[in-house]
Structure 1
Amino acid sequence: MHITTSGQPALDLGFGNYTCNWGTHFCGLYETQAERDAIIMGYLAQGMLAGDLQCHCPVERTPEDFLHEFPKHCPHCEKHMADTTRLQILSAKTLYYPDGKFSPWAMDDSLNAIFEKSQRDGKRNVRAAAEMDWALEAIPGVDNLMAYESRLNYFINAKPWISICLYDVTKFDGKTIMQVLQTHPYTISQGVVTQNPFFQDPDIWLAKNAPEFLRRG
C-alpha cells in the first residue's frame, strides 16, 4: 500500500508492504520489543538492500547487541555492515547529547553534517531511526525534545531523508505521547502506517509551545 507523504520519489519502507515518499517524519509507537523490531529491522534491511545510508540509534539494546542481531533479520546486510557509508550505529549520547546537554540547535548542526557527508559519499538517500528512551533520563536540555521533534520537519522537508522516532508507549506518559503525535505528520502503530490527524505544522506548534525555537536554522 502506498502512502503519499510528499512529492518526492517513492521507497519501500520494508514492513507491512508499505511504500511512501522521501522527505517524511514518522513516529513509531510500540509496546513490545517484537513490535519495535518488526518496524526497525525491516526498515533498515530494505534500506541496505537499496543502498541507502542507515543511521540508527538503539537504546533498549546496546549498539553492539544491535550489530549482533541485525544480520539475523537481514542476511544480505552482513557484508556491508562495516561500510559507514551504508550503516552508522550511534549511541544516544553520541547523537543527542555529546557534550552532556541536549540542544535542538546542536541537533541542526549534527544532522546537517550527516546529510552533507551522505551527499559527498555518492548522494545516498538517508534512513534514520532512533529509540527515544534516552529522553526519560534527567539529561540537561531534554525538556526541549519536542521542540526538536517539531523542528525536524523543517530539516527533513524536500530532502531524500526519512526519520522514524520510536516511542515505547508503556514508558512515556500520555501527555508526552500526545506531544509526539502533534510533532510527527505520520504514525506507525500496530504495524499500520497512517497520516496523523493530531499533527500540527511546526510554525504553529512552535509558536504556541516553544517560540524561542521558531526560527529556521
Structure 2
Amino acid sequence: MHICGFFDSKEQQYEVIIPYILEGLEKNEKVINILEGNRHSEHCRCLTNNGVSITEKLSSGQFEVLASENTYIKDGTFAAEKMYKMLEQTLLSASRAGYESTRACGDMVWALKNLPGTDELLEYEASLNLLTPKHSVSLICMYDINSFSQSTLTDILLTHPYVIKDGKISKNPNYVEPLALISSVSNFPSGPLKS
C-alpha cells in the first residue's frame, strides 16, 4: 500500500502514525520512519510517551529512524531514481533479515527546501506504485497541508492509491496509474511547492 497522509498538525499526524507504528512492531514487521534529523529526539520521545518501547526496538534493528538528510536529500539533492533504489534495497534487506513485511512513514517536509531535483517528487511518488506490488510493504507519505501549495497537494494526491481521511485509510478516487502519470509528468507545473 502506498498511502498519502495529509495532516494539518503534528498532533493529527501522531494520532495516525502511533497506532500504525505500534501495530507494525507488534506484528514483528520492520518499521522505518524518515524525518528531519533535528526532529528525531522529539519524535522518539513522543513515541515513548505513547507506549512504543523504542530503545529495545532500535537496538534489535526492527525499528529505524532515518534522517531526510541521509535519505531523500543525501548530498543536498533529491534524485527520484536514487531514492527509489535505496528504498528497494531497504525492503530487500528487511526481507533477508526475516521480516515478512515492512511499514514506513516519511515526512515530506524536505521537499519544501526546493533543493536540486525536488521537481522529481511527483515522478518519485508515482514510481513507488511500481515498487509496492513487488514487496509486502505499506508506505505513508506525510504532507503538512499548511506548508505545501494547494496545487502541489492536488498533484500529490494523484500519485497515491490510498489516502488518509479523518484518521482512516481509504481508496483514493483521484489516483492515476503510475505509467500514465509518469509519462505526463512533464506537464506538471514546476513552480514552488510552498503555499
TM-score, normalisation: structure 2: 0.90
**Percentage identity across paired residues of the two chains:** 24
> What's the offset of the Cα at 1:116?
1.5
Give the C-alpha shift of residue 34 in structure 1: 1.1
The aligned counterpart of 1:7 is: none
Please tell me whether the aligned partners of residues 45 and 77 of structure 1 are also in contact (alpha carbons under 8 angstroms).
no
Partner Cα distance (2:53, 2:102) in 1: 19
The aligned amino acid for 1:189 is K
What are the Cα deviations for residues 49-89 of structure 1, in whole angstroms up to 9, with x where unaligned? 111111101239611221222111124554323222x1110
3-state SS of paired residue (1:55)? strand
Cα distance 1:146–1:104, how it changes in 2: closer, same or farther (>3 A)? same
**Aligned residue number for residue 191 of structure 2:** none
Normalized against structure 1, the TM-score is what?
Answer: 0.81
| Partner-residue secondary structure (3-state), 1:90 | strand
The aligned amino acid for 1:100 is: G
Q: Which residue is 2:75 aligned to? A: 99
- Structure 1 segment 141-180 matched on structure 2, within 5 A: 141-180=117-156
- Which residue in the other structure is 1:5 paired with? none
Tell me if structure 2 keeps the 8 A contact 1:57–1:130. Answer: yes
Instruction: For residue 178 of structure 1, give the secondary structure of its aligned residue in structure 2.
Output: helix
Aligned 8 A contact 1:185 1:196 in 2: yes
The verdict on how the C-alpha distance between 1:38 and 1:167 changes in structure 2, with shifts beyond 3 A counting, is: same
Q: Distance in 2 between matches of 1:173 and 1:50?
A: 37
Cα displacement (A) at 1:158: 3.4
Partner of 2:109: 133
Specify the alignment match of 1:82 in structure 2. Answer: 59
Preserved CA contact (<8 Å) 2:34 2:68: yes
Counterpart-to-counterpart distance in 1, 2:23 and 2:54 = 9
Per-residue CA distance 1:91-138 (angstroms, 9 max, x = gap): 111111212211111012201210121111113310010111110002
Structure 1 unmatched ranges of 5 or more: 1-23, 212-217
1:63 is matched with: 40
Aligned residues of 1:30 and 1:189 also touching (Cα < 8 A): no
* Aligned equivalent of 1:38: 15
Moved over 6 A (4+): none
Matched residue type, 2:178: P
More helix by share: 2
Alignment RMSD (CA, Å) = 1.7
Partners of 1:151 and 1:42 lie apart in 2 by 27
Aligned to 2:190: none
How many residues are aligned here? 187
For residue 22 of structure 2, what is the amino acid of its counterpart? A
What residue ranges of structure 2 are gaps of 5+ in the alignment?
A: 188-195
Structure 1 residues 204 and 51 mapped into 2: Cα distance closer, same or farther (>3 Å)? Answer: same
Cα 1:29–1:123 change in 2 (3 A) is same
| Matching residue's letter, 1:52 | E
Provide the secondary structure at the position in 2 that maps to 1:62. Answer: helix
Which amino acid in structure 2 is aligned with residue 27 of structure 1?
Answer: C
Aligned match for 2:31, one of 34, 54, 77: 54
In the alignment, the residues of structure 2 paired with residue 152 and residue 45 of structure 1 have an alpha-carbon distance, to the nearest angstrom, of 24
Question: How far is 1:189 from its partner?
Answer: 2.1
Matched residue, 1:18: none
What is the alpha-carbon distance in structure 2 between the residues aligned to residue 75 and residue 93 of structure 1?
Answer: 25
Indicate if the aligned counterparts of 1:57 and 1:63 stay in contact, CA closer than 8 A: no
